[in-house]
């Protein structure tokens, strides 16, 4: 394992610890005397929608990984189309709050996220360490870009917390690719569970922050 890969793994561990210590990760329902039931139900609906979207992201990326490693070009192409459609849907979810320009910006950043993952997958399959390291650099840089963008749009999303969340998310992708490539299927199953749970953390963090910033939309 290269020094860059070791540093990336350490950053992922620190990212999870930082993210889980932040109060932004929990949606706190208003006290009964402060808000009516519809506010809670709208927040819950937003949370469910964002959870589905982020779960869709890891589901379809995993399909790209498994199909690519199996040299199934047709399946990989079909899965990649779903990855793109899902990224558009995630970006579209913020449009009612931040506008079309922000949605398009987020879509571009998510495309960069996937591009780095695909580069890492391609390099791993070919056993090209320098290309793996270049992809890790792109993945880390992109996580920071997304964190800065979302934090700039919403003051309830601390940039360090977001950076930790997104770095840890990238680490899950990297670990999953490595485990599937080396046929460590039992280990990958545990990684998959961690990935799914982490998607809930990200979705809930976004829900909480948006509900705080736009309380009138949740009444």
Q: Is a pLDDT exceeding 80 seen at residue 164? A: yes
17-50 pLDDT, tens digit per residue, is 444 444 454 444 444 344 445 545 889 999 999 9
Q: Considering only residues 4 and 205, tell me which one the structure prediction assigns the higher pLDDT.
A: 205
Share of the chain above pLDDT 70, in %: 82
C-alpha span between 27 and 110 (Å, rounded): 24
Label residue 9 by pLDDT band (50, 70, 90): low
Q: 64 CB contacts (<8 Å, ≥6 apart)?
A: 76, 79, 80, 83, 118, 121
* Number of other residues whose CB lies within 10 A of the CB of residue 210: 26
pLDDT at 187: 98
pLDDT at 157: 97
Average pLDDT along the chain: 88
186-209 pLDDT, tens digit per residue, is 999 999 999 999 999 999 999 999
**Residues 94-102: contacts with CB under 8 Å, at least 24 apart:** 94/153, 94/210, 96/217, 97/210, 97/213, 97/214, 97/217, 98/153, 102/153
pLDDT at 12: 54
pLDDT at 6: 54
Q: Is a pLDDT exceeding 50 seen at residue 106? A: yes
Label residue 59 by pLDDT band (50, 70, 90): very high
pLDDT at 26: 46
108-130 pLDDT, tens digit per residue, is 999 999 999 999 999 999 999 99
| Mean pLDDT value of segment 67-74 | 98
Domain segments of the chain as ranges: 3-12+44-218
C-alpha span between 57 and 86 (Å, rounded): 6
pLDDT at 41: 84
pLDDT at 219: 83
């Amino acid at each position: 394992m290269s020094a860059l890969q070791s540093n990336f793994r350490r950053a992922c561990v620190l990212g999870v610890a930082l993210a889980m210590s932040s109060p932004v990760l929990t949606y706190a329902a208003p006290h009964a005397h402060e808000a009516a039931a519809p506010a809670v139900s709208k927040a819950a609906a937003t949370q469910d929608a964002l959870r589905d979207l982020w779960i869709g992201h890891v589901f379809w990326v995993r399909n790209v990984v498994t199909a690519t490693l199996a040299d199934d070009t047709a399946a990989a192409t079909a899965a990649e189309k779903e990855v793109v459609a899902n990224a558009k849907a995630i970006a579209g979810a913020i449009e009612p709050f931040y506008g079309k320009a922000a949605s398009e910006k987020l879509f571009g950043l998510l495309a960069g996220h996937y591009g780095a993952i695909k580069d890492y997958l391609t390099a791993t399959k070919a056993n090209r360490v320098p290309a793996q390291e270049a992809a890790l650099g792109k993945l880390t840089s992109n996580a920071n870009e997304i964190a800065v963008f979302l934090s700039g749009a919403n003051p309830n999303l601390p940039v360090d917390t977001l950076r930790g969340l997104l770095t840890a998310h990238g680490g899950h992708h990297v670990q999953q690719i490595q485990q599937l490539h080396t046929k460590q299927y039992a280990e990958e199953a545990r990684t998959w569970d961690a990935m799914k749970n982490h998607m809930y953390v990200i979705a809930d963090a976004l829900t909480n922050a948006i509900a705080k910033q736009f309380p009138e939309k949740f009444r």
